[in-house]
Structure formats: structure tokens, C-alpha cells
Structure 1
């Protein structure tokens, strides 16, 4: 849902005449409210269970799709729909990640989060494919039809969330006080892991917003852009297959550093005026590299957090991610005003290089 609504919102904004500088601010609207509410949402999930939070997230996603379908002809409607989507995404992912974290520990965590993020990548590939069906031969797709289809898909999401199995709330061991946010932040290496996750997710976000803008600048049809985004998502899926075995052989830190720098190199090349086939290769390599960062930081936090605090740990990671999604796209919008969408990809590549080098000093084993 997220990966079809966000590119479509970009196209609708272009239809309304918004410039590249405002696209970054629209992207930031997706993350602003979740940035404030992520930590409280994690604590609530630890108390009430994952299914309640998943259902609340699905309701908000449905509200977002309806808002974009009915009010998306104005800037205010686009902003409201984007904010609701950010809140719905927050509730959904906190519920999902906490559910996985409470069931997979130690060596199982990498494999479990690899499978979970594989499913997310499947959505990243299927979602943009709607662009192909609703405007393959045009620079701007039929945004109204896509928003209407998203309303139907959101109803399905609502039903699926009700099928999530309830879990028993995990409490700290007897004699151990409930873990607070400050204690989590003080875990060795956690700040570096959070910063890496933040920039990697922001890079994914920026490709969603600025690859369509790049296509519009270069006259690439919307259907082709949908295929390119789907390729990026499929490549992320490929990098997550058998992730547990790769971690067992090479280690989390080495994989995280290598794949982040690989993504940075490919994204820098994508900023150049390439042919569509070469751009597809660059986005495939970018997706492959970025696909590893999220599950590795999730499993690292899952192994670090004690019982009864895993929802809070996942929400702390989301706070960092949302901070990146608020500030980095806003910076990207400023860059785009003068350097275009290609300049945004180049600056994002530089950020990936920085966090990739920082990740070299992460602890080999989580401190949990």
C-alpha cells in the first residue's frame, strides 16, 4: 500500500504543479507525525499486544486511501492523506516487527527478519506495478484510478490484520525494573545502528519520491518508472533470501558495511544521464544493497532488547528512521531546486557512504 500510494502522490503533486523543492516537504509529511508518536506507540504495543496496533494501523491506511481518492485534488488533501498514511504505516510496522521480535531470538532473528523484510520487498515490487496498469504509455499515470484501487486494497489489509494471532505480553524477569528509553539508547553501538537504519530507509524513501521525478524530467513514461521501482524492490527481495545463512558465514557487521557501500555506488551512478537499461541495472544494485540494512538492524535490536521492551526498541528504531525521513527529504528538496532529481540521488549516495563507514565500528555481537 505504501509503495503504490507514495509514488502516486508524487505524480498527483506534479499534476497540481508542485515543484521539486516541495516534493521533499510532501515526503517529510509522511514521517512527521510518526516521528512524534513512535515511542508512545511502541510502549502501547508492549501493553495491549500486536493485533490491536495492527488493526489501528490498517484503519489509518484505509483513511489515507479514502482521503487521497476524494480530496487529493488539492495540496491540503495530499498533505492530509500523506500524514494519515504515515500514521497507518507506523501502527502496522510496529505491530509486525514486535510480533517477529517476540518470537525469534539469537540466530533465528536474522532469518526471521529476513523473511519479514522479504515480504515487505514483495509489496515494494507489487505496489509500483499498478503504475504500469494505469498509465504505462504516459509520463503521468491515471492517479485517480490508482487511488480508487488502493481503497479496495486497504479493505483487504483491514481484514488481514484481524487474523494476526494474539500474543502474551512479555514482562521483565522478577526483580528487574522495566527498561526505559535511556537504557536502550545506552546500549553499545546502538546509536550507530540507528543512524545506519535511518539513512538506509531515507534512501529507499528518496528513490520512491525522486525516481518518478527523474523520469518526469527525462521524459520516461510512468509505466517504465513503475517497472524500474519494481526492479528495485525485487532486488531487495533477492538480497533477503537466505540472509540468516549469509550472516552465519560472514557476520552482520561485514554484510551491513559491504551492502551499504554497494548501494551508495549504484545510486551515485543512477544520478548520471544514463539509458533506461543502465538505470535499471543501477536501481537493481541499489535495491540489492539497501535490502540488507533493515533486517540486520532489526535483528540486532531484537537481540539487544530485554523481554517486555521489544516494542519500545522497535519504536526507537522507527524514531530514528522517521527523523531521517523528515529531515533528509527536506534537504533533498533544497538540493533538487538547483540540481534536479539527479542531484538528490548523488547527495543521498554520499550519506550512505558516511553511515557505511560508521557501521564498521558496530559491535560484532549485540550486547543483549
Structure 2
């Protein structure tokens, strides 16, 4: 990886952390304020769902917008929307305004993420660099998931909710300061052979792209299964809240650790092998989870699952950029974001209903069986044989 690419990548990762950190901070602070004001868990659930619901509907338009306008304009719009959402909560910190702020922050984070990922994918010059840059990009959300809530918590404890909202509202402008110093890449023109306007769903005509989206959705659902059902399983086992939190924390640390290692392993790994291996490992770990009754055993499984699922995103992003026409990368990223956010909204409801009906163990086993049976599909995925070189900027 050349020095110029390293500098640009560091700047873009920092930008991602700032915008995403604003959203994760609000995602912690707003429900906490709602609970302290006496709102029921149902209303808190609605508030949390809004963070993921907005990107479901805006992902595809955001992807097309990034394809047309590149990096800086989408990020500028996202920063403005996130900041305005935060400032509304500063001025009118009521529940329904918090819902509006949640929608704004969720939408802005999704738009910025798509634009940044699209730009980073275009900075890479071959498949190895794609795996490396997306491995580094995957570390950003792990950092912002820590930084955002920590910032919000410190301001809440020492100055109150309004100051916390103000600090979070200003954070995205640091992202804009970083992005505006990044050189915009030349626009990719739509080939004349494609004719007029096409639907984003046309991308799904590519069989490998369909399989990649299915696998991405399944692995995203596994992440949701673990986050949602481990507290339920821990409660059934009589574990304390601290212990359950430590189990989930081990998963997050393992996912971050493997992403830090992936840039150095990228030259020796093939995307389909990593994805297929992660799916097989996830199936085995999900089969074992309900059979383990001690905290240290659940913690060990959680760490191993973090290694497996944490390794997948850079490989999926690399294959997505290789399978998709360059001028439609934003649309492809929009389809992926729509599927992931839709899963985050719908899957907890489905898992909760299924867990209440048949038991948590059967949900783990059913999801694990589905993922394991689909792992051969991942092994057969193939990206285009070569990625054309670009002039280095």
C-alpha cells in the first residue's frame, strides 16, 4: 500500500468514526433520557428502531447520489443532517424530537458510510488492496461504537443531556473538515451500451451478486442473533448483567482484533475461503451455544464467534466492488446497506417471537443450520479474474 493511499485511508477512517460516533452516541443517550423521563420500553424500542429504519429506505437513493456526485457532496449533506438532528435535541429535548433526531442521525450515518466506502473502494488498485483497505475501514465502526457512547456518557454525567447532544452534533463537522481535504476522484460514466435509466435491482441479475447479498444478509442476521439472544440465554442461566455484558464485550473485542489483523493477512487469503470458513465456524458455534451452561464457556464461544464474523465484512466488500460495475458501486453498497438495516429492524422481532414460541436454543440451532448449509455457496463465489488498474492519484 503506497504512502498516499495510507494517508487518504487514515483521513477517511477518521471521518467515518466521527459521523458514526455521532449516531452511536445518540443511540445510547436518547433511550437513556427517554427511560429517565418515564417512557415505557415499547417507546424506547421504537426510538431505537428509528436509527436503523431510515437507512432501509434511504440506502438506494444515497447510493445513486454517491455514484453521481462522488464523495464530498454526499458527506456534506450527511454532516448537515446529523448536526441539525443533534441541535434539535439540544433545543427541544422531548421524546418526539428525539425520534426525529434518531431518524436524522441514522440516515446521515448511512449516507456518509456509503459515500466513504465507495470512495475507498475506488482508491484500491487490485484485489489485494481492496481486502486491505476494507479491513482497515471495518475497524472504524468498532472504534466509533466505543467513542460515541463514551463521549455521550461523560457529558451526561458531568454536564447533562443537552451538552451531550451539543457535543455529538458538533462531531460530524470534524468529519467534513477531514473529507474536504481529500481529492475527489474522476466520475465514472455509464457505458452507452447500458442505454437509459436502469433499476438498482438489475444488479441482482448477476447470480454471484445475488449469492453474495444472501450470504451478507445471513451473516448480518447471525450478528443480530448473538446480540439479541445471548442476554436472554444468560438470564436463563442465571448470569449477572455484568457477566452478560462481558460476554458480549468479548465478542466485540474479538471482532475488532481480527479486523486489525486482516490487512496483513489479505495477501494470503481468498475472499470465498474466508467467508465459507466463517459460515461453517458460525454454524458449529451456534450449535454449541445452547449446550454451554457456564459463563467462561459462553465467553469462549463469544470470542470465537467474534473472530469468525469479524473477518467477513472486508471480504464481502472486496467481492462486491469486484463484481459490480465501477459506475454502480454506490447502488450496490445501497442494496447491501438496505438489507443489513432491514435485518436489524425485523430480525430481533422475529427472533423474539420464535424464542418465546419454541425456545432460545432452537433459534440458535435453526439459524446455525441455515448458515452451515449455505457455506458451500460461499466457497463457490468467484470475483472477476482481474481488476483493471487505475492511474494513481
- Scaled by the length of structure 2, the TM-score of the pair is 0.73
Partner of 2:175: 160
1:287 is displaced (CA, Å) by 1.7
Q: 1:182 to 1:11 in 2, by over 3 A?
A: same
1:280 is displaced (CA, Å) by 2.7
Partner of 2:3: none
1:345 is displaced (CA, Å) by 5.2
Structure 1 counterpart SS, 2:240: coil
Q: Which of these two proteins has the greater Rg computed from alpha carbons?
A: 2
Query: Is it true that 1:104 corresponds to 2:127 in the alignment?
Result: no
Distance 2:177 2:266 in 1: 33
Partner of 2:272: 253
Partner of 1:330: 349
Structure 2 counterpart SS, 1:308: helix
Partner of 1:138: none
The 5 Å alignment of 1:291-306 reads: 291-306=310-325
1:175 is displaced (CA, Å) by 4.5
Distance 2:114 2:366 in 1: 29
The 5 Å alignment of 1:35-46 reads: 35-46=56-67
- Scaled by the length of structure 1, the TM-score of the pair is 0.77
Structure 1 counterpart SS, 2:372: helix
Equivalent residues of 2:139, 2:260 under 8 A apart: yes
Distance 2:75 2:33 in 1: 28
Deviations 1:137-178 (A, max 9, x none): xxxx98x96896465244223322332124134223764547
Equivalent residues of 2:258, 2:310 under 8 A apart: yes
How many aligned positions are there? Answer: 356
Query: Is it true that 1:318 corresponds to 2:337 in the alignment?
Result: yes
The unaligned stretches of length 5 or more in structure 2 are 1-20, 388-393
Distance 2:146 2:231 in 1: 15
1:28 is displaced (CA, Å) by 4.7
Between 1:231-240 and 1:96-105, the stretch displaced more is: 231-240
Deviations 1:277-318 (A, max 9, x none): 333322222221111221111111112222322212211222
Equivalent residues of 2:59, 2:335 under 8 A apart: yes
Query: Is it true that 1:85 corresponds to 2:105 in the alignment?
Result: yes
Distance 2:89 2:288 in 1: 34
Query: Is it true that 1:239 corresponds to 2:258 in the alignment?
Result: yes
1:120 is displaced (CA, Å) by 2.3
Partner of 2:240: 220
Equivalent residues of 1:114, 1:244 under 8 A apart: yes
CA-based RMSD? 4.0
Q: 1:268 to 1:28 in 2, by over 3 A?
A: farther
Distance 2:281 2:91 in 1: 41
The 5 Å alignment of 1:274-285 reads: 274-285=293-304
Partner of 2:41: 18
Distance 1:255 1:98 in 2: 22
Equivalent residues of 2:74, 2:111 under 8 A apart: yes
Between 1:345-354 and 1:161-170, the stretch displaced more is: 345-354
1:27 is displaced (CA, Å) by 5.5
Between 1:83-92 and 1:347-356, the stretch displaced more is: 347-356
Equivalent residues of 2:74, 2:112 under 8 A apart: yes
Distance 1:55 1:199 in 2: 32
Higher relative contact order (CA 8 A, sep 6+): 1
Equivalent residues of 2:322, 2:384 under 8 A apart: no
Deviations 1:179-214 (A, max 9, x none): 842442222400111111122223334544555666
Partner of 2:73: 52
1:227 is displaced (CA, Å) by 4.5
